[in-house]
Structure 1
Amino acid sequence: MTISRMPRRALTGLAATVSALALSTAPAFAGDDAHAKSISENCGVLGCVTQLHAEAWFYSDGDHWKLCDSDADGDRVDMSVGWDDSAGSHFLTLEVTGGQGACATGQRNIPEGKKVTIQVWHRNGANGSGKDIATAHGTA
Structure 2
Amino acid sequence: MMIVTLTVVSACGRDQPKTGAALFADNCAVCHGADGRGGGGAGVEGLSKTPPDLTQLAVQNGGVFPARAISISLESYAVDGHRVPRLAGMADLQSDETQRVRFDGDRLRTTPPMAALLVYLDQIQAQ
Shared fold per TM-score greater than 0.5? no
Which has the bigger relative contact order, CA under 8 A and spacing at least 6? 2
Greater helix fraction, Structure 1 or Structure 2:
2
Q: Which has the larger radius of gyration?
A: 1
Q: TM-score, normalised by structure 2?
A: 0.30
Q: TM-score, normalised by structure 1?
A: 0.28
Greater strand fraction, Structure 1 or Structure 2:
1
